[in-house]
Chain A
Amino acid sequence: GIQVEQSPPDLILQEGANSTLRCNFSDSVNNLQWFHQNPWGQLINLFYIPSGTKQNGRLSATTVATERYSLLYISSSQTTDSGVYFCAVASSNTGKLIFGQGTTLQVKP
């Protein structure tokens, strides 16, 4: 099945810094989503982005489907951005999402 790799596994930032999270996948996809998991476990949808570029406030994402990777940019990070960021992909019409191992982000004040 499709493999999903996220990097880095852990990231520590000072408040106000920018960061880039990466997601590599091993096959063509028809769905790619970025999530933020909050301390209570809820997965927050950040982006649905099987291709192209999207922006939402301080967050933006780019997926280059032909090269099988996606990037999540966080600008001017805040302490509330802390948590785990997951990339998940689906490569068939079943809709089944396969998750990467996540990036744990800690933003220090």
Chain B
Amino acid sequence: GAVVSQHPSWVICKSGTSVKIECRSLDFQATTMFWYRQFPKKSLMLMATSNEGSKATYEQGVEKDKFLINHASLTLSTLTVTSAHPEDSSFYICSAGDTFSYEQYFGPGTRLTVT
């Protein structure tokens, strides 16, 4: 199956700083990628749709100025958490699908801790 990677796998940052998370599709091209957030013992919540070459589409309630998304190529999307605060601490997961089916493949996730 298709492989999606994320980097870093975990990060600790201080309050007020910004953190960038990368999501890469390793063996296929993805015009669309998705970013999810998961709190402990909870389900995944869709944050935004990342579109190659255009602006991201954010779900209701997600601050676009807080969570900046850039999809600069067909294999890379980045999520930047700006001016991070402790409440931004969470598990962030990306997904991508190939163009021939609707099936989505997920990255291993990034655990963010803001102190």
Contacts and interface: CB of A to CB of B under 8 A. Distances in A.
B54 interface: no
B104 A97 contact: yes
B91 A97 contact: no
A30 interface: yes
A50 B101 CA distance: 11
A91 B103 CA distance: 13
Q: What interface size band does chain B fall in?
A: 20 to 34
Contacts of B42: 101
B103 A33 contact: yes
25 contacts: A30-B102, A31-B102, A31-B104, A40-B108, A40-B109, A42-B109, A43-B93, A45-B103, A48-B101, A50-B102, A86-B43, A88-B44, A90-B102, A94-B32, A95-B32, A95-B49, A95-B102, A95-B104, A96-B34, A97-B34, A97-B46, A97-B95, A97-B104, A100-B43, A101-B42
Interface of A: 30-31, 33, 35, 40-43, 45, 48, 50, 86, 88, 90, 94-102
Interface of B: 1, 32, 34, 36, 38, 42-46, 49, 91, 93, 95, 97, 101-106, 108-109, 111
